[in-house]
Amino acid sequence: MGEPTITETSLKAALTERLKAVHVEVTDMSGGCGQSFTTLIVSPTFAGLNSLKRHRAVNAALKDEIAAIHAWSAKCQTPEECERDKAKHGGDEGPPMDGTVGGRVEGTDA
């Protein structure tokens, strides 16, 4: 099998461009095969949007990419929310790691 067509780098570039994100962290939870990703997306375009609307905006921006992968999760924040969380937690919280073991999906080789 060849290189995955969707990568951490390609998703980060797409989110930065399409959502005007000021900070994006993408983690391939599938051990590099490009089938499961978790992200932290910080964008001023999320201001005034509830969680559902933020996730809908992300899903619309990545419609083609999400259709080609198996699992996807996103944490969506405004820059102000991100700064508040950093101060509250003493650092960068990073993308959500729910359902993982050591930051990887169980059953992968990574």
The CATH number given to whatever domain includes residue 76 is 3.30.300.90
Nearest to 74 by CA among 84, 61, 91, 83: 61
Q: Is residue 96 part of a domain?
A: no
Q: Is 79 left (phi over 0), alpha (psi -120 to 50) or beta?
A: alpha
**pLDDT at position 110:** 47
Count the domains in the chain.
Answer: 1
Q: Are 102 and 26 in contact (CB under 8 A)?
A: no
Q: Is residue 32 part of a domain?
A: yes
Q: Are 9 and 30 in contact (CB under 8 A)?
A: no
- Residue-range definition of the domain harbouring residue 50: 8-90
For the chain, list the strands marked E by DSSP. 23-28, 36-42, 71-77, 100-101, 104-105
Nearest to 62 by CA among 52, 49, 75, 72: 72
Question: What are the average pLDDT values for consecutive 10-residue runs of the chain, which has 110 residues?
Answer: 79 97 94 89 97 97 93 95 85 56 54
Q: Is residue 39 part of a domain?
A: yes
**pLDDT at position 61:** 96
Q: Half-sphere exposure of residue 109, counting CA atoms within 13 Å on the CB side?
A: 3
